[in-house]
Structure 1
Amino acid sequence: MVRSLALAQHPHIVPVIGFSEAPGERIILMEYVGTMSLEFYLHQHVDGPSILGWTRRLNIAAGVARGLEYLHERMAPQVVHGCIKPSNILVDVKFNARVCDFGLSFLASGQEKVGIVGYVDEEYWEKERKGGIGACKESDVYGFGVVVLELLSGRSNEEGLLVQWALPLVRETKFSELLEPRLTLPSNMKPLIRLAKVASACVGNSRKTRPKISEIVEILDSLLDTDLCL
């Protein structure tokens, strides 16, 4: 499995370059990216809001989507990430998103899976309780939707409660309450509203009606051509 992951090469992922296994330990070696995670910039860096303006946030969302599309649809065999969340997304020196730790959910213990609470859908846990595999492309899309809500709101997904707070605001078109309060709202709100609706479709729908990541990429790429008029 790890050998096939090492074949992944894309501008928006962090490649696996080595694997070591010994009694009691497994080590995955990935390409060094000398920057911090999206988690750090969004929720820990004191100047995070000013560093991550709306244009950069939109670019990061599009980059994560492209990385997932590559894993889901262009690799052979196709790869499910297993846990899309801000700490598994690195931001390089040009503020491009690079998805890391993909395809490694099979290595996680039950205790380690506590870290994915709030970033996978209810179906994930139902499958796990029945002895099946909860991780799938649809659960990755759910995690992507949560990440987009964090990018839009600036809020962390503590205890998995972000979706419960954000979905009603999107549905009631209360976007001024949803969006990051520490950033000035752009004069052209349409791209951010569209992005919020994409996130809503990712986290508010069942697996059967959730959009595919390729559909999301197409939408986000079109948004990148839109001027936010900051």
Structure 2
Amino acid sequence: MRAVTPEPREIEAAVVDATGEIAAFIVANLPVAAVPGTPEIRLHGAHPGSGLRRLTERRSRLSPYWAYQWAGGAVLARHLLDHPETVRGRTVLDLGTGSGLVAIAAAKAGAGKITAVDIDAHAIAALRLNAALNGVTIETQLADLTAGEPPRVDLITVGDLFYERRLARRVTAFLDRCLAAGITILVGDPGRAYLPRERLAMIAEYPVTDFGTAAGEITRATVFSFMQGS
């Protein structure tokens, strides 16, 4: 898997359609279902007959990772719902939000304000639909924040962003700047290849499903606190 940053024109074209054609495709082809292990939340999700290639080949060079459940996001969502004090009344940014599972969980757990960020306009469109489906309000941002300054938030959630070497380096450098600014950072991950393990302290572990595994297969994923380096 490799993250690809879209060109500005591609972003603009996708944004124009984000509340129209893209959303219509999602509604028509990605059925709504409760999230395994997190039945409090329902999302639009892909299945073998969804025809996602018809959508992504026309408008994006990015893989449609947002259309599937990933273990890191699943474990973060479960943890926030089980421990609402983690986010209650706080400003939260969900980095690489995908379909918005973690952001929606934060909203349901009582976060004061949630901003969900992704580089894929398809993900933003799916998130908006999913937020409405679950009756929560979430601000969205189509951007790559990893090269920028820390946002003005209390907490950042990061699920499944350590699957590719260069992406992991960018994300880690960004999180370092955020940590220096006093922001709390929670990471959800099942142990992917480029997870910065030496920077993480385990908080909790849950059984969840993961994209790319056999249907019904359960894996263990962990919620970590991101810490200062030595």
TM bracket (short chain): under 0.3
Structure 2-normalised TM-score? 0.26
Question: Higher strand share goes to which structure?
Answer: 2
The two structures have a TM-score, normalised by structure 1, of 0.26
Structure showing greater Rg: 1
Q: By percentage of residues, which structure has more helix?
A: 1
